Amino acid sequence: MILLDRVTKTFKNVPAVEGLSFEVGRGEVVGLLGENGAGKTTTLRMISTILQPSEGRIVVDDLDTAQRAEDVRRRIGILFGGETGLYEKLTARENIAYFGKLYGLDDRTIRTRTEELAKRFDMTEFLDRKVGGFSKGMRQKVAIARSVVHDPAVVLLDEPTSGLDITAANMFRRLVQEFQAEGKTILFSSHIMSEVERLCDRAVILHRGKLVFNGTLESLFAAHDSRDLDAIFMNLIGTGGSR
Ligand SMILES: Nc1ncnc2c1ncn2[C@@H]1O[C@H](COP(=O)(O)OP(=O)(O)OP(=O)(O)O)[C@@H](O)[C@H]1O
Ligand SMILES: [Mg+2]
Note the pLDDT tens digit of each residue in 98-129: 999 998 999 999 999 999 999 988 899 999 99
Nearest CA to ligand 1 atom 13: 16
Task: Give the model's confidence band at 13: pLDDT under 50 very low, under 70 low, under 90 confident, else very high.
Answer: very high
Domains of the chain: 2-236 (3.40.50.300)
Which ligand has its closest atom nearest to the C-alpha of 36? Answer: 1
State phi, psi for 240 to the nearest 5 degrees. 60, 20
Q: What is the pLDDT of residue 161?
A: 81
CA–centroid distance, residue 124 to ligand 1 (Å): 36
Nearest ligand 1 atom to alpha carbon 191: 25
Q: Give residue-wise pLDDT tens across range 190-204.
A: 877 778 888 888 999
Q: What is the pLDDT of residue 240?
A: 52
The Cα 123–Cα 145 span in angstroms is 10
Residues in contact with ligand 1 by the CB-under-6-Å rule are 11, 16, 34, 36-42
CA–centroid distance, residue 211 to ligand 1 (Å): 15
- The CA-atom distances, in angstroms, between 231 and each of 33, 85, 177, 203 are 14, 35, 26, 15
